[in-house]
Structure 1
Amino acid sequence: MQPRPPVVTIMGHVDHGKTKLLDAIRETHVMEQEAGGITQHIGAYQAEINGKTVTFIDTPGHEAFTAMRARGSQVTDIVVLVVAADDGVMPQTIEAIEHCKDAKVPIIVAVNKMDRPDANADRVLQQLSQHGLVPEEWGGDTVAVKISALKRQGLDELLDMILLQADLLELKADPTAPPFGVVIENEVDPGIGIVATVLVQQGTFEKGMYLLSGESVGRIKAMLDESGRPLGKAGPSTPARFIGFSEPPQNGDRVYGFKEKKKAQQIAEARISHREQEQLKLAAPRVSLEDVFARIREGEIKELKIVVKADVQGSAEAVRDALLKLAVEEAKVDVIRTGVGQVNETDVMLASASQAIIVGFNVGITANARKLAEHEGVQIRSYQIVYKLTEDIELALRGLLEPEIVEVPLGKVEIRAIFHRDRNSVVAGGMVVAGKAQRGASYRLKREDKLVFEGQLSSLKRFKEDVREVNEGYECGLRIEGCTDVQEGDALELYVHEKQESIDAAAHPSAVTET
C-alpha cells in the first residue's frame, strides 16, 4: 500500500462560486464554457499544491443534478462545501450536507464571495451550525475558511486545510493490485465513440488493457488527462478519460482492467447469465400498446410520454429526474427512454409508436431522424438550459389537463303559479325574468335569497308543448322534481357547467429548436 492523492469534491448551491474556486486553484477558465454559466457536467481534474497532487471533482450546482452530486460524494475523500457569504445556506447547500453525512465524508466549508459589500460570514456560520456543521472557532469540529475565489483571497489557507485533512485521513491504495475505478461521466463523441471519465481507485490502468464494465468488454485505445493529453498509465486517485468502451457504462459503475480478454469475457458472460436467470424468475406478461391504452382509459390517466436524449449520461439522468418531479394536478410525465448521443431514427420510431415527443439536451438530430420525424409527425425539441426545458414541459402538462369545469349562469325564472303538487314533485308556471330557461339546466330554488333546493330542470313547456328553451320575457311551465316546498314568488336561478379550456402549450412560443 502506498499513499495516494486525496479526492476532493467541490459542492454547494448554484452560483455560489464552485467552478470559480476550482478555476482559481487550477488557473484555468472552465466556467465560461458552460451553457448559461452553470456547470452541467461533472469534471475531474488534478492540481499540484505545495508539491502534492490533489484530485478535484467539480459537481454541477443546479438542483436537477442531485444524482450527479450524490455520486460525487461516493467517490470523494473530502468535500469542500462552498457557501456564498452574501447569500447564505440555500436548499442545495443543505442537500449537499445531507449527501456528505450519509457518505461519512469530512466537510471543509469555504465561505466564498467575502469581497462582496453585503458579505456576512457570521450569518453563514450560524446557519451551518443549525445543520450540524459547527465551526472550530465556535467550539465545533468543522473547518471553515473565508475566501474570495474571484479575488484569489484565502485560497492558500483553504488548500492548507485540504492537505492537512488529507494527512489525517492517511489515504493509501495499492498501485500493483488488479485495477478498478468508478465512472464519473461518459459521453458519445461522434468522432471517436464512447468516452468515459474514470476515477481510478485501485491498481494501475495501462493502454491496451481490456475493460469490463457491467456486461460489456472493451479495450483501452487511449487514456487522456483533463487537458486531452495522452496518458500511458493511470494510478490511484487519477481521473482519466478512457476511449475504448464497447457499450456506454453507467455513471457510478465500477470499471475493471484485465491484461487478458478471456478473463474479462468470462466474467461478462457470467453476469449476463445471472441477469437472464433473474429475469426468468421475475418474468411478466408482455404489455402491448392495446393493453397500455386500455389501462390508461380505465384509470383515466393523463401522461406526456417523452424520449430524452443528451450529450452525456449525467445530463440525461438529470433531465429525466427533473421531468419526473413535475406534477400538475392529474397530469404527469412518463420518460420512456433516456439515452446518450444524437436523436436518431430508433428514437423517432419509438416516439411514433408510443405517441411521445423527443427532448434533446445539448445534442443534434441526424438528417434521417429529422426526415422520419416529419413523416411520422413526431415533435423534437432541443434545449441547452435545463430551466427552459422543464418550464416548457410544465406548460405542456397544463395543456394536457382536463379542462376546468366552471359554472355559467343562464337565467332566472320567477314562480307565478302552482298547478299541481304530488309526493315528490311540483308542476308550476313561471316567467323568465332574465336570460333564458333551458331544459336539462341545473338550478337553485331560492326564497327571499335563501337557498331552498338544488336540482336539474327535466321538463320545460310552452303552451303545453315540450320545448328546449324559453327566452326572457316569456311564460313557461316546468316540473320541479325532488322537492315539494315550492311557493309563488320563489325564484329559480338556472346555470350550466361548461369546460373552460386551459391555455395550450403551443400558444407559448419558446426559444428552442422544434421539428
Structure 2
Amino acid sequence: MAISEDCIITLRIQQLQFLIMSTPLVDLPSGKRITFLDTPGHAAFSAMRSRGANVTDIVVLVVAADDGVMPQTIEAIKHAQAANVPIVVAINKCDKHDADPRKAKEGLLQHGIQLEEFGGETPAVEVSGITGLGLPELEETVVTLAEVLELRADKGGAAEGVVIESQVEKGRGTMATVLVKQGTLTVGSYIVAGTTWCKIRSMTDDKGRPVKEAGPGAPVKVIGWKEMPNAGDEILQAEDEVRDFFVPAHVFMALAKTVVENRITKQQRETQLRDLEVINDKRRKDKEAGTMERAVEKAQRKELWMFHHGMIKDLPDAANIINEDDEGDTKKAKVEVKEFRAVVKGDVSGTVGTVIDCLNGLCTPEIKVKVVGSGVGNITDGDVQLAAACEGFNVKTDRKIQHDASVARVPIKSYDVIYKLLDDIKLTLGEMLPPIVTTQVNGEATVLQIFQINTQGRETKAVAGCRVTNGSMTKIGRVRIIRDHKQIWEGELETLRQVKKDIMEAKKGLECGMSFNDFYDFKEGDVIQSVVTVTTPRSYNT
C-alpha cells in the first residue's frame, strides 16, 4: 500500500497509470469499507482536486516529510477549506534518512492547519508508503473521525450521486464512474446527469465485477448513457416512491427526457442572455466612442471658426494629433497574432477538460491557442479535417487516420503524461514566435584622415584612412557609421586596403583605408563598426 504526495485523496492504493481519478472500494481489517478517491498531484489538475474535495467526506492531505509543504499542498488545503471538509494529515516518506516530519507540520501551521499536537483539531499520522509504517493508524484515524462525525446516508428513496469520470470503452460504449451519495442505484433505473440521461443497462464495481445495485459510498461504472456526462455532474434518479404503484418504465424514461430537455433549454437561454449582454456592451462602447468623436470634431470646428475670426492667434493642431493617433492605431493593428489550432481527444472527460484549460492558459499577446474541437475517444477523420494540429491524450490512431493526416499535413501527437504534453506544446509555440534579432559589433575603427584617390583619368574618390581600435574589421559583411553617437549610414565595404594591398581583415591597431558602396559623406572622427546580425530562435518563456 503506497500513499501519494501533495494531493487530496482518502488513501493511495496503487500508482495511477493514467491521469484520472481512481475510486477503489477497500475492505479494512476492522471490517469497515471505505471508498478512496485519488486525484493527480500535477498543478494542471486543479479542477480534479477541487471536485475531489467537494465529493469526499474526509480529506487525507498527504505531505512528504522530505519536501514539506509544496504549492500543490497549499492548493489542496484551499480546496478542502472551501468545501468545509474535515482534514486528516498523512506525513509520508518518514522512512527516508533526510525526512523531517516536524518541518512539514510547522509548514502546515502557516496555512491554517492546526494539528492536534499543537493544540488544534486536525489529526496527523506519520506514515511510509514503502514500509507500511503508520498505515493502520491512518486507517483507524479515518474510521474514528467518520464515526465521530456520524457520516450516515439513507439507502432508501431515489438515488443521488456524482459523476467522477466518464469515458468511451471499445465494445462497451459510453460509461461513467459514479459515486453514490444517497439511496440505492439499481440496474434498469433511469438517471439524469447534467444535460444527458441514462437507462442503466449494467453496472460494475471497482474490480470490474457486475453488480445489480450500489448503495451509498459505492463507486460503480454505469453503462447505458445516451450521451457522455461531464465529470462533476450530479446524478439524480428519475424514479421515486411511485415505483410502489407499478408505474410503467416508459413513464420514468419520459420523465428523464423531460428533465434533460428543460435543462438544455435553460442552458440555451443562459447562453443567449450572455451573448445578448456582450452585444449590448459592444453597442454601448460604440455609442460612447461615436459620441466622443463627435464632441472632438465639434471642438475642432469651434477652434477653427475662432481662428478665422481672429479670436485666437494659433491655428489648432488637433487634426495633426488625430492623425498621429490614427497612425499609432494602424501600427498596433499591424501586429500579427499567430494562432495555434488544436483538437483535443482524450481517454476520459476530466483529462480532456484539464488539457483544454492548460492550452487556453498558454496564450500570449503574440500567439493564440485555439481549441477548435474536443471529445472523448480515438481520433477520427472529422478531427483531422477540423484541426491544423491534433492533440491526443492516451488515445489511439489507426493507420488510415494517420495516412489521411499525413496527406492533409496535420500532425497528430499522442501523450500519456501531461508533463510531456505541455513541454512539447511550449516548444511548438516557441517555434511559431518570431525570432529575436540582435546586432553584434565585431570591430570598430576611427576615421583619422580622408584621402582623395585617383580612379579613372582625372576622377577622384574619397577614401577614409582609419585605425582599428577594437576587434577586427572584415571586408565581407555589413558596416555602419556612427557620428555623435547616432547612426548615419549602414551598408557594405567597397574596399579594404593596407597601403595599396587589398586585405580581407584588419585587426586591432592596424591602419587601413576604407571606401563604401555609394556613400562618401564620411568625416574625420566618425566611428566605423563591423556588425553581424544574429537571429536567435525564441522559446515560449522568452
CA drift at 1:277: 3.1
Distance 1:176 1:323, change over 3 A: same
1:98-497 aligned at under 5 Å gives the runs 98-259=78-239, 260-281=252-273, 282=275, 298-326=334-362, 330-331=366-367, 333-351=369-387, 356-409=388-441, 412=445, 414=447, 416-417=449-450, 430-431=464-465, 434-436=473-475, 442-445=480-483, 452-457=484-489, 469-473=493-497, 474-476=513-515, 478=519, 488-493=524-529, 495=531, 497=533
Kindly provide the CA deviation profile for residues 290-336 of structure 1, in whole angstroms up to 9, marking residues without a partner as x: xxxxxx98442233222221111122223333334447884453333
How many residues were matched structurally? 440
Whole-Å Cα distance in 1 between the matches of residues 165 and 155 of structure 2? 23
Q: Tell me, what secondary structure is at the counterpart of 2:36?
A: strand
Is residue 437–residue 471 contact of structure 1 (8 Å, CA) maintained in 2?
Answer: no
**Which of the pair is proportionally richer in strand?**
1
Is residue 432–residue 472 contact of structure 1 (8 Å, CA) maintained in 2?
Answer: no
Whole-Å Cα distance in 1 between the matches of residues 94 and 38 of structure 2? 21
2:20 is equivalent to residue 41 of structure 1: yes
TM score, norm. by length of structure 1: 0.77
Distance 1:453 1:112, change over 3 A: closer
Is residue 230–residue 350 contact of structure 2 (8 Å, CA) maintained in 1?
Answer: no
Counterpart residue type for residue 13 of structure 1: D
Distance 1:495 1:444, change over 3 A: farther
Indicate the RMSD between aligned Cα atoms, in angstroms: 3.2
Whole-Å Cα distance in 1 between the matches of residues 344 and 333 of structure 2? 25
Counterpart residue type for residue 208 of structure 1: G
2:72 is equivalent to residue 72 of structure 1: no
Distance 1:22 1:102, change over 3 A: same
Distance 1:357 1:155, change over 3 A: same
Is residue 415–residue 429 contact of structure 1 (8 Å, CA) maintained in 2?
Answer: no
CA drift at 1:217: 2.5
User: Which deviates more from structure 2 when the two are superposed, residues 189-198 or residues 212-221?
Assistant: 212-221
Distance 1:456 1:175, change over 3 A: farther
Counterpart residue type for residue 425 of structure 2: I
Is residue 59–residue 69 contact of structure 1 (8 Å, CA) maintained in 2?
Answer: yes
CA drift at 1:272: 2.3
User: Which deviates more from structure 2 when the two are superposed, residues 325-334 or residues 168-177?
Assistant: 325-334
TM score, norm. by length of structure 2: 0.73
Whole-Å Cα distance in 2 between the matches of residues 42 and 170 of structure 1? 26
| Percent identical residues | 38
For residue 12 of structure 2, the aligned residue among 7, 16, 22 is 22
Distance 1:122 1:499, change over 3 A: closer
Counterpart residue type for residue 113 of structure 1: K
Q: Tell me, what secondary structure is at the counterpart of 1:161?
A: helix
CA drift at 1:74: 0.9
Distance 1:321 1:432, change over 3 A: farther
Q: Tell me, what secondary structure is at the counterpart of 1:128?
A: helix
Distance 1:324 1:277, change over 3 A: closer
Whole-Å Cα distance in 2 between the matches of residues 68 and 229 of structure 1? 26
CA drift at 1:244: 0.9
Whole-Å Cα distance in 2 between the matches of residues 268 and 47 of structure 1? 34
Matching residue of 2:294: none
Is residue 115–residue 121 contact of structure 2 (8 Å, CA) maintained in 1?
Answer: yes
Matching residue of 1:423: none
CA drift at 1:155: 2.1
In structure 1, runs of 5+ residues without a counterpart are: 1-9, 24-29, 286-295, 420-426, 446-451, 461-467, 481-485, 505-515
CA drift at 1:56: 1.2
Q: Tell me, what secondary structure is at the counterpart of 1:141?
A: coil
